[in-house]
Structures are given as structure tokens and as C-alpha cells.
Structure 1
Amino acid sequence: MTVNTLAWDTYARQKPERRRVNAAGEATWFNWTQYPDHGPGADVLGVRPGHRVLDLGCGKGGNLAHLATLGARAVGVDVSPAQLQRARERWGLLGLSLHRQDAVDYLTSGGAEDFDSVFSVFGAVYFTDPARLLPAVRARLRTGGVLAFSQFPPVDGCYGCQASLIQRGPDEDPLVVRRWDYLPEAWEALLTEHGFRDVRARVIPAPPGRRTTGTLLVRAVA
């Protein structure tokens, strides 16, 4: 078992399950931010019935499941067997196509079809070197296709590759994974450099009365 697999399996055990319904009483929904019932939804991706969509770091599959209910052909990739098993148990009837694989390996392994949308919600885009990931995504997006992802905004002065800790038991050292933090304008420059257009990066403020940490949301067109 690789360190990344162990780390994300550990994270899967710690993360609460998605609620059965959201505040509107819906059984599936799309959430870009770390706060429930907050921020934009699936409209960011412009998904239509028949579109092929890819979730990089799909975790337990909640966002991907919602796109399947909209008629998308939903594909998810994750390195964690525990996360994927939870996704299959809860959303198996929706026909998700789930793969245990590294994001870059999956994108560069070929396949019969490209994608209309690629997205990541605190997922693989956050935890993969953009110098490797962005060209791989661009190569598999159809012309006019959308890449969108969300993650925490960077801590002031801490940009580029950073360390993230996933805690374990009280007598165990935390597991370390790498993440990539950039300011909105830096993401815009990186994506433009790798052939994307109409790039927009912004921080969605936290809901009123909550912590001050917002959510960085980035959207670009192939």
C-alpha cells in the first residue's frame, strides 16, 4: 500500500458521510465549498445529458452522483479503495464508472473518448503537481470543455508545493501528502500557459457567521 493510498483510506474513515438530503430536501446535489448548502452548484460545469464528465479524486462520489442524475456519463478516479467502496455502496444504482488509479496515470492511459468536463472538489487537482496534471487534463478535454476545481485558498506567503497532514491515532505519526497552493492570479497564469482560455479564479467567501476561510474556485475552458 502506497503512502497516498494509506493516507486517503485513513481520511475516508475520518470524514463524515454526506447527509441523506440537503437543506432543500434533495437526495443528490453539487457542493464546491467546504460548507453545506453554500456556493454555486453543477451549473459551473455546464453539464448536459450525454456529456462525459470526469471527477479527479472523486472520494465517496456525492458530487459525481449528482451529475449522473442530470444525465451525464459519470467517471470517477481515486487512489483510495475505501473511498471508492463507499461510493459504490451508496451510489451504485446510478451507474458511476469508478477507477482506482492515480489521476495523471488515468488521463495518460488513453481511452476511446475524451471528456466534456473535468472537475475536482478538494481532490486530485489540489494534490497533484500542476506541471504534470494540467497538460494531461488539456489533452483529454474536448474543445470547449470545462475544467473546474475548488480547494482552500493559500495561506499568505505559502505558495507552490506544501505539506498536508492527515492525523492518525494518538501514538502514530501523521501521514504527509503534498498539495499545491496558488493565489487566484497565479492559477489563471498557469492554466493560460497550458493552453486553457477564459480562465477565472475567485475566492467564494465563507457563509455569514462562519469561519473566515473561503473557498478558491477556478474554472477554465479548453
Structure 2
Amino acid sequence: MTDTAIAWDTYARQRPERRPVNSRGETTWFNWTQYADHGPGVELLGVPAGSRVLDLGCGKGGNVAHLAAIGARAVGVDISPRQLTAARERWGQMPGVELHQAEAAGFLREDREGFDAVYSVYGAVWFTDPALLLPAIRERLRPGGRLVFSQRPPVEGCYGCQASYIPRGADEDPLVVRRWDYEPHVWEQLLVAYGFGDVRTRVLAAPPGPRTVGTLIVQARA
């Protein structure tokens, strides 16, 4: 197992399972933010039934399951075996769900069918060099297809490739993975440079409460 896979397996052990139902009583739902029952939903992808949609960094598969539930061909990719084991145990028998253990850019290079939409929720778009990933996504998006991703907004003055720490035991050093933090206007410039259009960015404020960190949401079209 690669060091990156070990790091995300460690992260997976620290993450709770998705609730059986959300506040509206739904058994599947789409969430772009780090907060429960907050923000927009699957409508950002604009995909009708039958569309082929790719989740880059699908984790335990909750968003993939919701896409399958509304009739999409939902493909989830994650580098962590532990994450995918949890996804398969809960959602693997659901019609329309397809799960793969792979590195994001490598999976895109191997795919030959293409996608109507590609998305990442605090996932691979945040943790992969955009010089490698964005061209691979653009190559596999069908004409008019959408790329949508969400992540934490950058800390002021800390832009570009940053270290992200995953804690372990009390006597162990944390594991380190790289993430790419950019201001919204820089994401816009990068996406245009790699052949995307209709680029939109916004920072969605956190819901009322003690936490104040919002969510950066970026949308673009092939």
C-alpha cells in the first residue's frame, strides 16, 4: 500500500459513518459542505437520469449512492481501501453504483467512456496537483459536461501546495498529505488555462453556530 493510501486509511478510521437518514428523512442525499443538512445539493451537477458521473475521492460513498438513487451511472474512485470497503458494504449492491480503488489522475487516463459530470467533495481535486488532474478531467468530460468541486477556503496568505496533517496515536507523528489551496480567482484562472469555461466560484458561509469556516464551491464546464 502506498504512503498516500495508508494516510487516507488512517483518516477513514476517524470518520463517522453517514447517518441512516438526514433531517428530511431521506436515506440518500448529496452534501457539498462539511456541515450536515447545509448548502446546495445534486442540482449543481445538472445531470439527468442515465448520465455517467464520477466522484473523485468518493470516501464512504454517500454521494455516489444518492446519484445512483436518482438514476445516474455513479462511479466512485478513492485511493483508500478502508474507505472503499465501507462504501461497498453499505452501497455496493445498489444498482448504478460502481466503485474503484485508484489514484484519481491515473483512473481518468485509463477511462475510455467519458463522463457527463465530474465532482469532488473535499476530495481528490483538493489533494492532487491541478497541473496533473485538471487536464485529465478536461480530457474525459463530454462536451458541455460539468466539473464541480468543494473544499475549505484557503487561509489568508497560505496559497498553493500546503501540508495537511492526519493525526495518529498519541505517541506517533501525524501523517502528511499535500493539498492545493487557492483563492477563488486563482481557481478561475487555472480552469480557464486548462480549457474550461463558464467558471463560477463562491464561498458559502457556514451555518449559524460556533464554527465560522465556510465552503469554497467551484463550477466549470467542458
TM-score, normalised with respect to structure 2: 0.98
**How far does residue 33 in structure 1 lie from its aligned partner after superposition?**
0.3
- Other structure's SS at 2:124 match: coil
* Root mean square deviation of aligned Cα: 0.7
Match of 1:119 in 2: 119
Distance 1:54 1:94 in 2: 16
Summarize the alignment of residues 86-165 of structure 1 with structure 2, pairs less than 5 Å apart: 86-95=86-95, 96-111=97-112, 113-165=113-165
Report the alpha carbon displacement of residue 110 of structure 1 after superposing the two structures with TM. 3.3
Q: What CA distance in whole angstroms lies between the structure 2 residues aligned with 1:197 and 1:94?
A: 34
Q: Deviations over 1:14-53 (max 9, x none)?
A: 0011100000000000000000000000000001110000
Unaligned runs of 5+ in 1: none
Percent of residue pairs bearing the same amino acid type: 68
2:62 maps to amino acid = G
Question: Structure 1, residues 26-85: CA drift from partner, whole Å, max 9, x if none?
Answer: 000000000000000000000111000000000000011000001000101111000000
Whole-Å separation in 2 of the counterparts to 1:2 and 1:174 = 16
What pairs with 1:1-222 in structure 2 (closer than 5 Å)?
Answer: 1-95=1-95, 96-111=97-112, 113-222=113-222
Where structure 2 has 5 or more consecutive residues not aligned to the other structure, the ranges are none
The separation in 2 between residues aligned to 1:167 and 1:131, in whole angstroms, is 28
- Deviation string 1:102-123 (CA, Å, 9 cap, x unpaired) is 0000001132x11000000000
CA distance in 1, matches of 2:183, 2:40: 20
Looking at structure 1, the residues matched to 51 and 127 of structure 2 have their Cα atoms a distance apart, in angstroms, of 26
Q: How many residue pairs end up in the alignment?
A: 221
2-structure distance, mates of 1:210, 1:37: 16
What are the superposed Cα offsets for residues 141-186 of structure 1, whole Å, 9 maximum, x if unpaired?
A: 0000000000000000000000000000011110000000001111
State the secondary structure of the residue aligned to 1:76.
strand
The structural deviation recorded for 1:93 is 2.3
1:92: how far off? 1.6
Q: Is the 8 A contact 1:47 1:67 kept in 2?
A: no
Match for 1:12: what amino acid? A
CA contact (8 A) 2:92 2:98 kept: no
Would you identify which runs of 4 or more consecutive aligned residues in structure 1 move more than 4 Å? none
Measure, in 1, the Cα distance between the counterparts of 2:5 and 2:93.
26
Which deviates further from its counterpart, 61-70 or 89-98? 89-98
1:107, 1:16 → 2: CA distance? 29
